[in-house]
Amino acid sequence: MEKHLYTQTIRLLLLLGVLFLSTNLHAQQMQQPEQDLRPAPRAYLQAGFSMQNTTGTTLKKVFNYGTGFSASLPISIYKGRLYAKPIFGSTYFLNYFDTATQDNLLLCHAGLGLNYHPFLSLHRKWDFYPNIEIHYSWGRNFLSPRSGYTGSNVEALKIKGWGGLLGTGFIYRGYFAELGYYIFRPTVTMHDNLSNQYAYPAGLYTPLQFKPTKMNFDYLQLSFGVRFAFN
Per-residue pLDDT averaged across 195-213, rounded? 60
pLDDT of the residue at 201: 55
Band of pLDDT at residue 208, cut at 50, 70 and 90: very low
Query: What span, in angstroms and rounded, lies between the C-alpha atoms of 111 and 184?
Result: 13
Q: What is the pLDDT of residues 143-188, one digit of tens each?
A: 889 888 888 888 888 999 999 999 999 988 889 999 999 999 999 9
Q: What is the pLDDT of residues 19-31, one digit of tens each?
A: 444 444 444 444 4
Reported residue count of the chain is 231
The residues that bridge with 225 in the sheet, in sequence order, are 48, 176
3-class SS letters over 117-134? CCCCCCCCCEEEEEEEEE
Per-residue pLDDT averaged across 180-207, rounded? 72
Per-residue pLDDT averaged across 106-127, rounded? 82
pLDDT of the residue at 97: 78
pLDDT of the residue at 32: 45
Q: Are 185 and 159 in contact (CB under 8 A)?
A: no
Band of pLDDT at residue 195, cut at 50, 70 and 90: low
Task: Give percent of the chain with pLDDT exceeding 90.
Answer: 48
- 3-state SS assignment for residue 1: coil
Q: Are 72 and 113 in contact (CB under 8 A)?
A: yes
pLDDT of the residue at 199: 57
- 3-state SS assignment for residue 2: helix
Q: What is the pLDDT of residues 75-109, one digit of tens each?
A: 999 888 899 999 999 999 999 878 888 999 999 99
Q: What is the mean pLDDT of the chain?
A: 81
State pTM to two decimals.
0.75
pLDDT of the residue at 122: 53
pLDDT of the residue at 79: 81
Q: Are 181 and 147 in contact (CB under 8 A)?
A: no
pLDDT of the residue at 29: 45
